Structure 1
Amino acid sequence: MGAPIPPKATQRIRLGSLHEIRAELARVYRDARARRLPMEDATKLTYILVHLARVTDQATVEAEMCEMEDALRKGAPNGLEHKA
């Protein structure tokens, strides 16, 4: 088992969107391919990032569904009205 991955004190990695998570996954991949990051550490980070991406995606879908439900309850003023 490798040594713990030290956090970079000078740089905070933004992981608030799928785009940012994808960019971090790409960075981990490039670092592992270039042997700047041990493969077992890259595997662990990738596992965490993939799960973070899933949760982020689910939260986004849930928020969008809540917005649509609210719009429908309020009479759908933004063109979301039910068309029979």
Structure 2
Amino acid sequence: MARTKKTAEGGALSGELLPPTPRINLANPECIRQEMARVYREARGKVINTAEASRLVFMLSQIAKAYELSIIEKRLTDLEATTEKRKSR
């Protein structure tokens, strides 16, 4: 799948390709926090603009919330299973 290169204004230049996006480890809250910190440092260092950084950090926070929700759901399921096991004794 080819991606079109964008200009500084966000428009696309036809026929030019963007380099592939590196895979970022977002497997746990610590990895997500580290990625947020990297985005923050890049925004502070003017490597990326603050609007883009804001969008990225928002998406990362949503990923963190989804991760937390999945952990809570698993713990709740485990507690319910333990409770059911104790009731059946």
TM (normalized to structure 2)?
A: 0.70
Quote the residue 2:57 is aligned against.
46
Residue 15 of structure 1: how far off its partner (Å): 0.9
Structure 2: which 5+ runs fail to align? 1-7, 12-17
Paired residues of 1:17 and 1:56 also in contact (CA < 8 A): yes
Secondary structure at 1:3 match in 2: coil
Q: Which has the larger radius of gyration?
A: 2
Deviation by residue 1:1-28 (Cα, 9 ceiling, x = unmatched): 8538xx8737310112111111110110
Quote the residue 2:20 is aligned against.
9
Moved over 6 A (4+): none
Equivalent in 10, 18, 23 of residue 29 of structure 2: 18
The aligned amino acid for 2:50 is M
Find the aligned partners of 1:18 and 1:43 in 2 and give their Cα distance.
18
Find the aligned partners of 1:8 and 1:27 in 2 and give their Cα distance.
20
Equivalent in 67, 70, 81 of residue 78 of structure 2: 67
Paired residues of 1:2 and 1:40 also in contact (CA < 8 A): no
Greater displacement, 9-18 / 35-44: 9-18
Paired residues of 1:32 and 1:38 also in contact (CA < 8 A): yes
Find the aligned partners of 1:61 and 1:8 in 2 and give their Cα distance.
37
| Identity rate, percent | 28
